[in-house]
């Protein structure tokens, strides 16, 4: 890549049986300027299908979008204007049927994620943006990770030659007015409760603080949610707040972190949206994600904190029920791309 050309963002196409390829194509149609900055790690035949699916009526200016297959990222500098650059990042014999769990689709999605992550890990891409995947398809393909976050963590740890435990990551979901970071991610509720330990809460607060400091917040205001109703009501509804969460908060405050809580989970997100806090640390997946998705699914962004590169994604899934219909919106994907561009605007 010539020094004068900024490193590209790599966008993995997601599960080819879902809306991922479709919203990727729509994103480029809606924002043609992105073609100069983004390379798709995907399947050429699947992306051709997505272009046909999203093609507007004949005669439209946006109808000119065509696909350009490239071998690797430096070739983006030579792609003609108006072309979507795609790297064949998986071995898929043909596009799978829409809306069905398919092991071939799961393997293709995982291979594209791995290609994108390796590009970022080796310093050939400025960031990774991932379109939605189907977790059951991943499992059917034998992928030993339940989702993007865990897979990317494993790839980054292997690249660094360390254990997964030595490279802790966290999921942050954001929409206009609210950001929340999770202590545990894709585990059962029973396992999520077991994951609320002093060390896990402490680590989450530290990772959150470090991320917001890098993002330009001098003293990010971190609200930590309780686990139990009313944050335990002084021990009446559980002692996790007293014995686990509050001690973790105090340890970080001693380090100069502006953390507070434990706050009642049923009001802390509302207070954050009203401006009292910059981010909420939630104890488990649904506690943190329900309010974000309720407020801003169309413009929500998932960011993985703790990785050695920037990774964002839309905050929705593969939407098998509408895959192939042309109805899917690219708004959340565009928000994820914008977040990646803002995080590393001019790396060269």
What CATH number did the domain enclosing 31 receive? 3.40.718.10
Dihedral (CA of 50, 54, 57, 59) sign: negative
Same domain, 207 and 274: yes
Same domain, 21 and 75: yes
List, as one string, the DSSP characters of 275-339: TS-SEEEESSHHHHHHHHHHHHGGG-EEEEESSSSEEEEESS---TTTTTTT----HHHHHHHHH
Asked if the peptide bond before residue 262 counts as cis, ω within 30 degrees of 0, the response is yes
Same domain, 174 and 163: no
pTM for the complete prediction? 0.89
CA 189 vs CA 196, 283, 286: distances in Å:
11, 11, 9
pLDDT for 283-320, tens place per residue?
999 999 999 989 876 788 999 999 999 999 998 899 99
pLDDT at position 3, please? 38
Angle between helix 20-30 and 331-343 (nearest 10): 70
Residue 2 lies inside a defined structural domain of this protein: no
Same domain, 128 and 247: no
Which tokens go with 57?
């009526």
pLDDT for 182-231, tens place per residue?
999 888 999 999 999 999 999 999 999 999 998 889 999 999 999 999 99
Same domain, 233 and 278: yes
Same domain, 202 and 142: no
Do 281 and 226 touch, CB atoms closer than 8 A? no
Domain coverage including residue 315: 9-167+307-343
Same domain, 71 and 160: yes
Same domain, 160 and 15: yes
3-class secondary structure, 264: coil
Q: How confident is the model at residue 56 (pLDDT cuts 50, 70, 90)?
A: confident
Same domain, 19 and 158: yes
Beta-carbon contacts of 183 under 8 Å, excluding residues fewer than 6 positions away, are 170, 192, 195, 196, 200, 201, 204, 281, 282, 283, 284
Residue 98 lies inside a defined structural domain of this protein: yes
- Dist CA 340 CA 170 (whole Å): 17
| In the predicted structure, residue 55 carries a pLDDT above the cut 80 | yes
Percent of the chain's residues with pLDDT above 70: 95
When pLDDT is averaged across residues 322-347 and rounded to a whole number, the result is: 88
Tally of structural domains, the chain: 2
Residue 4 lies inside a defined structural domain of this protein: no
| In the predicted structure, residue 87 carries a pLDDT above the cut 90 | yes
Q: How confident is the model at residue 98 (pLDDT cuts 50, 70, 90)?
A: very high
């Amino acid at each position: 890549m010539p020094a004068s050309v900024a490193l590209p963002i790599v966008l993995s196409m997601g599960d080819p049986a879902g809306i991922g390829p479709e919203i990727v194509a729509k994103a480029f149609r809606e924002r043609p300027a992105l073609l100069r900055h983004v390379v798709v790690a995907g399947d050429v035949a699947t992306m051709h299908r997505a272009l046909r699916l999203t093609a507007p009526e004949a005669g439209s200016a946006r109808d000119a979008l065509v696909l350009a297959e490239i071998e690797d990222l430096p070739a983006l500098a030579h792609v003609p204007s108006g072309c979507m650059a795609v790297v064949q990042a998986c071995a898929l014999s043909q596009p799978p049927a829409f809306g069905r769990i398919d092991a071939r689709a799961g393997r293709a999605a995982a291979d594209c994620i791995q290609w994108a992550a390796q590009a970022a890990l080796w310093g050939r891409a400025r960031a990774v943006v991932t379109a939605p995947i189907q977790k059951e398809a991943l499992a059917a393909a034998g992928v030993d990770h339940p989702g993007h976050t865990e897979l990317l963590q494993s790839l980054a740890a292997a690249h660094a030659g360390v254990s997964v435990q030595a490279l802790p990551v966290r999921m942050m979901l954001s929409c206009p007015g609210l950001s929340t970071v999770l202590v545990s991610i894709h585990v059962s509720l029973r396992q999520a409760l077991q994951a609320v330990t002093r060390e896990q809460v402490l680590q989450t607060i530290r990772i959150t603080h470090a991320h917001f400091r890098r993002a330009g917040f001098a003293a990010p205001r971190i609200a930590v949610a309780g686990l139990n109703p009313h944050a335990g009501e002084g021990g009446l509804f559980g002692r996790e707040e007293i014995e686990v969460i509050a001690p973790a908060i105090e340890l970080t405050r001693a380090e100069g972190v502006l953390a507070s809580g434990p706050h009642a989970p049923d009001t802390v997100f509302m207070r954050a949206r009203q401006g009292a806090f910059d981010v909420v640390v939630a104890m488990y997946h649904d506690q943190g994600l329900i309010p974000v998705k309720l407020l801003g699914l169309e413009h929500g962004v998932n960011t993985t904190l703790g990785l050695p590169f920037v990774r964002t994604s839309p905050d929705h899934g593969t939407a098998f029920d509408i895959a192939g219909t042309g109805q899917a919106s690219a708004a959340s994907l565009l928000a994820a791309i914008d977040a990646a561009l803002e995080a590393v605007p001019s790396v060269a």
